[in-house]
Structure formats: C-alpha cells, structure tokens
Structure 1
Amino acid sequence: MPVEQRYLRNIEALTEEECRTLSEDRVAVAGCGGLGGSVVEALARIGVRHLRLIDADVFDETNLNRQVLCTEATVGLHKAEVAKRRILEIDRKAKPEAIVSYLDESNAADLIRGMDCVVDCLDTLESRFWLAHACQALGIPLVYGAIAGWFGQVCTVHPGDASFVSIYGEPFGTSQHARLGSLPFAAYATAAVQAAETVKVLLGRPGQIRNRLLMIDLLDGSMESIELAPIP
C-alpha cells in the first residue's frame, strides 16, 4: 500500500515502511502543557496515530506565553481534551485518548500499560519518578524532557539504562521552572528533541540519547551532553 499523501514529505528521511510503523505504534504523553503540547503536535503530524494524552490540569492565562495548545479560547479547558481535539483537527484517522488524571504512585503503571513508548512532559519531580519506575517495571522506553528559563534537557531511558535518577537523587520536589521561568523557545526546542527521540525509539533508529543527558542552552546557543552513571 503506498504511503498516504500527507506523509510524502516524510519520505527520504523515513521509509514508507517506517511511516506505516509509526501509524500503528502507541505512545503515551504524560503532561500536555509546554512540552507536551508541542510533542503531541509533532507526533500527530509525523504520523503517530495512537496517542494517549495524560493531564488533569486546565489551561490558564499563564500558559499563553509558551503552550501551543493554549489560546484565549482554550483557557479553562482540560489540556488533555484540547490535545485530543487538536490531533483530530490534524488527522481525522487518528485515535487519540484523553485521560484527565494526575499521575502518581497508585496509577502510573495503569496509565501507561500497553504503550510502545512514553514521553515525560511532567512538571514535578515526584510524578516523573513514579512514571520512570512504572516504565522500568513494564519494560517501556521513556523519553524525558524538562525546561527552565532558557535551558532544556532530554534523555531517552530504556529499561536497565542509567537515567536522570542519577542526577536528581530522591524522587521528591518540584520543578525549577517556577524559579527560572518558562520561555516558549526553550519549550519548543526541547519538545522537538523529545519528539525526534520518540520516533527513533519507535523505529529502532540509532543515535538515541541513552545513558547521557543532552543539555540545551539557548542563551549562549550551545548543546552538550553529560554521561549518566548507573545507580548502584
């Protein structure tokens, strides 16, 4: 079966078979705000049609500076539901699933069960750790991303890999974005890397950011990576 017209610009960078693979794979995006909204947009456009969207929050006016799914018309609406609607505007054949729920120790595993990859776009360390533990337990690759001010960071964690646990230590606390701000281009750049990593995971492509943390500095226009040591 020939590739659909909408995916012709994928070809050469991706094969027709890879496009078909993406349309069948299942991805959970945890958090549909600054990072998650852009990740959802990119994955829906490249052809990932089975997206599980997890977020209990609603949009507010503070989200307008960076969250692509937040407009004056969507303020007050649930982020997961808005993300689902956006996907269907892009691709009526898509099968998005909106889950209006916070992610915690009690439900993390159930929320991501059956997924081929999980994208961490959460904004609290505690939720991130419960998600990471659930991914390890279920054998699901995890693509992590975070932003603070002008900076972003991304890594991809397969079961058994070293991960951001080696940086953050104990799984409790809040994100740094409240102290350093959240700028739109930091969210978009970081989300773009997360979306690319997700596609590489789904397709088994080399070059994934594994056992290292990619550091994005948009203030001085640099990227570097640091090796992550396994947790004893």
Structure 2
Amino acid sequence: MERLREFLAGQAEGDLLPWEAQCEASRRLGASLAMVEEAALEWGLMPKRYSRNRDTISIPQQLRLCRSRVAVIGCGGLGGYLIEELARLGVGTLVLADPDVFEEHNLNRQLFSSLARLGRAKVEVARERVAEVNPAVTVVAHRAAFSRENGKSLLSGCSAVVDGLDNVLTRHALAAISSDLSLPFVHGAIAGWYGQVAVQMPGEDISPLLGPVSAQGKGLEANLGNPAFTPAAIASLQVSEVAKILLGRGSLSGRVLFANLLDMEFEVLRYGRSTAGRGE
C-alpha cells in the first residue's frame, strides 16, 4: 500500500487525482480501480471525476459513498436513471436485479435501451453502461426477478435499497424484506405525468403507500403509460434521498412527496393510511 500511496501522491494535481493516474496505478501495482479509488480518498485525494461534487460532497463523504453498497431492483424506466446517477455519484458497489430483456416499447423512456440492444438482458446492458461511465464502480448483476425467496440473499450486505419496480406485489415484498434486514428503502413510482417518492427507514412501514396488496401486475402506469421525463425526474429525487441517507444528511422519512409534472406541483405530506395509493 505504501507504493500505491507514493505513486498517487506523485501523480496528484493538488488534492485531485486524474483518471489516467488511477488507471496507471491499477496497471503498475495490480490493484483494482475500486481499490485505487478507495485508497486515494482515504489519503485525502479526490478523484478528478468527482471534482464538481466537492462543494456539495467532501472527500470523507465521497469515501463513504465509495464504501457503500446499494441495491437497485428493476433496471428499466426508473432503474436506468437510478443506476446511471448512482454510478456517476460514486457509489462503490451496485447490486442490480431484473429478469427482463429490452423490448421496442421500452425505447421511449428507458435510458439504457436502444435499437441495437433490443433483446438483450437489462442487467447486462446496465453492467456495460456502468463500466463505460465509471469503471471504479463494482456491479453485481442478477438476471432474476426479486422475490420473497431470493430477496434476503440479493440484499445481503447492502447499505440501502432503491425501488425501480413497476409491479405492486414485488414492491411490497421489497419493502418488507428491506424492513426485515433493517435497510433503508427508497421508494419511487410513476404513471403518466405523476410520481411519488417515499423513504422507509428501519422500524418504519410505508406499505400503505405502495398500492393494494391484492393488486395484480402493474400499477396505474398500465393505464396512463410513462413518457420519458417522468422516470428521469422521479429517479433523480430517489437518488438524492439515497445520497442523504448514505451521508447522514437526513431523508424524506415520515413523509411522501407527490409530483404532478403536468401542473408542476409538488406536495409533501406526512404519510398514513389516508394517503395510501396516491400517485401510484
């Protein structure tokens, strides 16, 4: 480690470490890019790629993100934007789960979809995208549907869980297992011009917000559809909540945010059974 420290110190531009220096350190010393990034942050060097974070996120906070492991369940409309932003933010490990392949009807809104990627597994495309954007991020990809049977193993060791789902029953299972594991759960749901965001911290229960347990299949998006801008907007709000949770900066806990993008109205309410299902 001392050789790595000396090399990085010699390549730093003040307290910034260029990407080329990270790559060269990895090649010369046989360390992974993730290891190099974590070591640099430990020693007070900010990877240059995060230099525009620094007035908002300090070097010690960037190190906390680097050491975090976040699960994104669902890699489609919400999931693509969640994964992209978390990788760019510098979350060290992303655990992804989705059983599906890209289809033509995904092209209007799913960030990782393209004509060339039709028929390809969403988790594999997501893994490739993260490697293009930030190779220092480790991706653990599962081409599998989240369920009560596999949920605990998928979420084991995570720092937080993010909802990229479009299925009400699976969303309830995800919230329940997150609760069982005492993991923060950041919920998002979208339909047409509308969306909602809520946070379930350990010991809390946001199940009344997730839609009726008896619901089969998708929520209101089956009727209202989803244009390109709705998942982008709601996913960004979810990522901001993940960042706050990981950095100890508070959260939306105890409240739910309803977004009406048609009238550009946002409402934050204390949640309870009286708000169940709104914005689903």
**Please, what TM-score do these two structures have when normalized by structure 1?**
0.95
- Which of 120, 128, 141 aligns to 1:98? It is 141
Q: Does the CA contact (< 8 Å) of 1:162 and 1:229 recur in 2?
A: no
Moved over 2 A (4+): 164-174
Q: Does the CA contact (< 8 Å) of 2:179 and 2:204 recur in 1?
A: no
Identity over aligned pairs, percent:
38
Q: What is the CA distance between 1:164 and its match in structure 2? A: 4.0
Q: Could you list the per-position Cα deviations for residues 132-180 of structure 1 after superposition, in whole angstroms to 9, with x for gaps in the alignment?
A: 1100100000000010000111011101224142563436433211101
Q: Does the CA contact (< 8 Å) of 2:172 and 2:207 recur in 1?
A: no
Provide the residue aligned with 2:239 in structure 1.
Answer: 195
- Which of 15, 20, 31 aligns to 2:74? It is 31
Q: Compared with structure 1, are the counterparts of its residues 196 and 131 closer, same or farther at alpha carbon in structure 2 (3 Å cutoff)?
A: same
Identify the structure with the greater helix proportion. 2
Distance in structure 1 (CA, Å) of the matches to 2:210 and 2:48: 44
Unaligned runs of 5+ in 2: 1-42, 275-280
- Which of 160, 173, 186 aligns to 2:230? It is 186
Q: What is the CA distance between 1:107 and its match in structure 2? A: 1.3
Distance in structure 1 (CA, Å) of the matches to 2:149 and 2:214: 15
Q: Give 2:247's aligned amino acid.
A: L
Q: What is the CA distance between 1:217 and its match in structure 2? A: 0.6
Q: Could you list the per-position Cα deviations for residues 40-84 of structure 1 after superposition, in whole angstroms to 9, with x for gaps in the alignment?
A: 000000101200111000000100000110011111111111111
Q: Secondary structure at the match of 1:65?
A: coil
Kindly indicate whether structure 1 or structure 2 has the higher relative contact order, using CA contacts under 8 Å at least 6 residues apart: 1
Q: Could you list the per-position Cα deviations for residues 177-196 of structure 1 after superposition, in whole angstroms to 9, with x for gaps in the alignment?
A: 11011111111000000111
Distance in structure 2 (CA, Å) of the matches to 1:85 and 1:165: 36
Q: Does the CA contact (< 8 Å) of 1:164 and 1:228 recur in 2?
A: no
Q: Compared with structure 1, are the counterparts of its residues 165 and 147 closer, same or farther at alpha carbon in structure 2 (3 Å cutoff)?
A: same
Q: Compared with structure 1, are the counterparts of its residues 27 and 93 closer, same or farther at alpha carbon in structure 2 (3 Å cutoff)?
A: same
Provide the residue aligned with 1:216 in structure 2.
Answer: 259
Q: Compared with structure 1, are the counterparts of its residues 220 and 166 closer, same or farther at alpha carbon in structure 2 (3 Å cutoff)?
A: closer
Provide the residue aligned with 1:124 in structure 2.
Answer: 167
Q: Does the CA contact (< 8 Å) of 2:73 and 2:97 recur in 1?
A: yes
Q: Secondary structure at the match of 1:182?
A: coil
Distance in structure 2 (CA, Å) of the matches to 1:104 and 1:175: 18
Distance in structure 2 (CA, Å) of the matches to 1:15 and 1:210: 24
Provide the residue aligned with 1:157 in structure 2.
Answer: 200
Unaligned runs of 5+ in 1: none
Distance in structure 1 (CA, Å) of the matches to 2:119 and 2:212: 35
Distance in structure 2 (CA, Å) of the matches to 1:15 and 1:71: 36
Q: What is the CA distance between 1:109 and its match in structure 2? A: 1.5
Distance in structure 1 (CA, Å) of the matches to 2:57 and 2:143: 33
How many residues are matched? Answer: 230
